Structure 1
């Protein structure tokens, strides 16, 4: 979350017949959305091999220049290497490719790619048939004749571009080209573009099957509001201010924090609950997104993602981003039905340790972004009636299957924008309520649907420095209904400037033997070994009041 984004207009500077449009999206804590650029995902065709790679540079000032080579021969990777920041130049990677069965004996296929100013063969014992060939922007390619390499595992089959000195490549079969970024013309704002290449066909991924551990427990780490950028990003309001000698790059510090706690907590599942990407500082969303997927894939941790209001303010829509999530290793994320509003309405079943029966159901819903009716309901959008109907129908349909589980089945839910009921001041709370909640003004009463279908906890993100759990009770009986929690903001690319806020994340541990849910928070700085505000929210399958949780 961040404050409301206000469009402040545009600047138009016509140097020739071409116009440059720069749209600034600003909130009261300053964030800028860079110029929109092409950022399509690479095309992956099985059976294709790359036969040549080059870089085509052209003038941004010439309206007739399309930076496009002969389309009958070359395929362009649709990412400007300058990401729209080169006011004088644009540049694109172009590749030649052929189906393997169409290769002739004279065709060469690319078997290796490097970057650098010097010939990589210097100091190597290269075979005469495998000399390095120079291409623009410091690209070097090694090619072999078809009879040597067309059917080998060395043949390059796809090329992509990722950006930033901290670029990460989590896709199986892909690797970043060695020796760093491309060498573009000086005088432009370099985004450190890196080539990434794939060998072999696209990996066929199997979705992981979440299961309760042998000890009957299951741990979920909720990471919210990472606000990752293309490149290292700029820290906003870091605490403590003097850490690291006062130097703070947002994404490296954020990811160092997250990785330390992944190794410490060893979660069975990570929930990415929105604003993984800071759209205003991520002109290449893919590069930003990969930075959190990399550590999870490396540790083989399954994850489920939903969107916040900033994820799709960059160059990729929610639909495209969810398609990307679905294609990545260890992802449980789903677009959900296209017959209801939003992208990312789905559920995940966690199986019992010793059977295929569901012990725990996790619901994920898209809370959208900004109000579609500012005249009457200023602020943020709301969960729509057809989403609520989908949730009810789904939960009703799962009842019979859940009844076969021999212990008490549990339900939880995750969203990004909080529900209006989070702001009821009379609710008992554990944790800090530091800023006004920015829930939608229009209430579709999704909280009541959650209670009706036995969801014991719901947890959100969005308000970075709110990190409490609030207990909702039945109005007529006073009995506890549901705990509504915040994760707290974890990313240094998002705001955090209230009450010396320390970035944090939330952990839920489910004990299926006791039908118990315990939650706590972990901080980025200070006593990392300590669980903050640890409390029992569900015991023996029942939502329990604050007093009982404290007594425990």
Structure 2
């Protein structure tokens, strides 16, 4: 009997010894302290709109894996619409699998991550955002926090980053749940009690930093309305222009090249109402940049008149529409000795996965609505007629000089150039609306009928594209 007891004790001791490192690893990861490296650098990867099902498209997974291997980030932030929301045959386990598909690449590389939700995550019929947060938090490398009922939404929190010597908080990250839809079905935003929490946290960090604001990046899904301050309104018909949304839905815009650079291929869709979040940032003075997902084909970044950087990361899902090979991850490299002036750049699918495909029929939805499709058609026909009759004179604009490695301008929907979105080589719009200009009244000797005849195939293509885009947008993919 005595020997049997000793054997049992020894067996239990051995079992505990085997389990101890596993438990210890989990505990240490949950208690992870983010800290600048000895060289003073800290690298963050932003992944937006993965938005897929349990049968995740392998192109997206390969893109995530390749980006992680190339960039080796210290932290990954997911900025919402992490799963497709609802899909046919969805179950709790399939939601868990959909989450696991995007998290496993990080687990395998032992990279910590944080997550916020988008407007589609809560549309699941089988899980709530609370359920999904619990699934994320089950991973040892998850740093997300569920604040419970203390705040509106699910997952509003901050992640301090210590200096390389561990003596102070040198940088901070805010993760904000921008909620989903308001009572009228419009895009919602961050609520007042979340703003109050942000200000309290900001003040605490400031007090601990000798009264100076701690430079911070803020990530959330839905943009603030001030994103439109980086655009300029133009007449209908200007090449590269996009129709606004919400309160700006009757207007057309291009990037204001004096403030921003990058690509805008769909009208920004911010919260319908201004909840005062941006004004709160101005009061606190600690937001070095706020970055958003939500609008899958936009990757613009710029600085407002008040000095706050606002920016996008394009979506990386292949389950829904995107910008072809320009699907991207946005990187941030912060230097603790100059944390206000971080570097940010894009890792594009076409650059890192050149042989893996990427242009999908579903990307036609990038034109967003039938009126956008018709606009591009109009622009094509206008170009055709101007090619026959002679182009009207325009004044060249000044290109924005930026540090972001964007490469050459892309080819946009229906063959139009992205030069206005890309911020290079564009032309300023004429003061006269394009719709009021006569395309065939400049004395050209060419027969107008030739232009009309040549436009027939283009019109057919545009009509088909418009119909496809209209059908696809009815899926409410965004």
* Short-chain TM bin: 0.5 to 0.7
Query: Please, what TM-score do these two structures have when normalized by structure 1?
Result: 0.53
Q: Following superposition of structure 1 onto structure 2, how do residues 142-161 of structure 1 map, counting pairs within 5 Å?
A: none
How far did 1:201 drift? 12
Stretches (4+) displaced over 6 A: 149-152
Paired residues for 1:335-484 under 5 Å:
335-336=146-147, 338-374=149-185, 379-403=186-210, 409-424=214-229, 425-426=231-232, 428-454=259-285, 455-474=287-306, 481-484=307-310
For the residues of structure 2 that align with 1:409 and 1:394, how far apart are their CA atoms? 11
- Say whether residues 1:254 and 2:64 are aligned partners: no
The normalised TM-score by structure 2 is: 0.61
Aligned counterpart in structure 2 of residue 265 of structure 1, from 71, 88, 91: 71
Give 1:492 shift: 0.8
Residues 370 and 514 (structure 1), Cα distance of their counterparts in 2 relative to 1, 3 Å cut = same
Q: 1:493 Cα deviation (Å)?
A: 1.5
Gaps of 5+ in 2: 1-7, 233-255, 355-400, 406-423, 425-478
2: CA distance, partners of 1:325 / 1:527: 27
Indicate if the aligned counterparts of 2:26 and 2:140 stay in contact, CA closer than 8 A. no
Contact in 1 for aligned 2:51/2:83 (Cα 8 Å): yes
Counterpart position of 2:362 = none
Alignment of 1:71-82 (within 5 A): none
Matches within 5 A, 1:216-235: 216-232=40-56
Q: Partner of 2:273: helix, strand, or coil?
A: coil
Residue 348 of structure 1 aligns to a residue in which SS?
Answer: strand
The answer on whether the counterparts of 1:303 and 1:331 sit within 8 Å (CA) in structure 2 is yes
Name structure 1 gaps, 5 residues minimum.
1-145, 155-171, 174-199, 233-249, 475-480, 537-549
Contact (CA 8 Å) 1:431, 1:533: kept in 2 or not? no
Greater relative contact order (Cα 8 A, min sep 6): structure 1 or 2?
A: 2
- Shift in Å, 1:392: 0.9
Structure 1 distance, partners of 2:14, 2:123, is: 41
| Secondary structure of the structure 2 residue equivalent to 1:280 | coil
Whole-angstrom distance in 2 between the partners of 1:535 and 1:447: 25
Q: Deviations over 1:137-190 (max 9, x none)?
A: xxxxxxxxx99x999969xxxxxxxxxxxxxxxxx97xxxxxxxxxxxxxxxxx
Task: Point out the structure with the larger helix share.
Answer: 2
Query: How far 1:230 sits from its partner (Å)?
Result: 1.1
Residues 435 and 403 of structure 1, relative CA distance in 2, 3 Å threshold: same
Whole-Å separation in 2 of the counterparts to 1:404 and 1:510:
21
Report the Cα distance in structure 1 between the residues aligned to 2:279 and 2:41, rounded to whole angstroms.
28
Q: Which residue of 1 aligns with 2:476?
A: none
Secondary structure, aligned partner of 2:121: coil
Q: Secondary structure at the match of 1:485?
A: strand
Q: Tell me, what secondary structure is at the counterpart of 2:130?
A: helix
Shift of 1:331: 1.2
1:490 alignment counterpart: 316
Measured in 2, the distance between the counterparts of 1:460 and 1:343 equals 17
Give the Å deviation of 1:403: 2.5
CA distance in 2, matches of 1:402, 1:534: 30
Distance in 2 (alpha carbons) for counterparts of 1:525 and 1:535: 16
Tell me, in whole angstroms, the C-alpha distance in 2 between the residues paired with 1:490 and 1:423: 23
1:84-137 deviation digits (Å, cap 9, x = unpaired): xxxxxxxxxxxxxxxxxxxxxxxxxxxxxxxxxxxxxxxxxxxxxxxxxxxxxx
Q: Secondary structure at the match of 1:519?
A: strand
Q: Would you say the 8 A contact 1:207–1:331 is kept in 2?
A: no
Q: 1:308 aligns with which of 110, 118, 122?
A: 118
Residue 347 (structure 2) aligns with: 522
Please give the residue correspondences for 1:19-168 in structure 2 after superposition, counting only pairs within 5 Å: none
Contact map agreement 1:208 1:331 (CA 8 A) in 2 = no
